[in-house]
Amino acid sequence: MTRWQYTTSQFITHGLGSDSGAGDLEAVLNQLGADGWELVSSTIYHNTEAGQDVMLLVFKRPIA
């Protein structure tokens, strides 16, 4: 049976359709993929304390 480990990453979004920060997100995704992490879930929520939208990404990879 495969056992998994999980990690998360969060990014402040600047509105849908904006390229702002897209390069940073792509770089992080490429690095996590190179490290064996697979994206399994994403969601956007509004952080009321900070007054910003945040993208939460969940990744998994097999435990070696």
Q: Tell me how many domains the chain contains.
A: 1
Instruction: Report the percentage of the chain scoring pLDDT > 70.
Output: 88
CA distance 39 to 18: 22
Cα separation, 49 vs 23, in Å, equals 26
Is 60 exceeded by the pLDDT of residue 2? Answer: yes
60: β partners:
6, 38
**What residues have CB less than 8 Å from 9, skipping those under 6 apart?**
28, 32, 56, 57, 59
pTM for the complete prediction? 0.80
Domain membership of residue 14 as a residue range: 4-62
What does the alpha-carbon distance between residue 3 and residue 1 come to, in Å, rounded to a whole number?
6
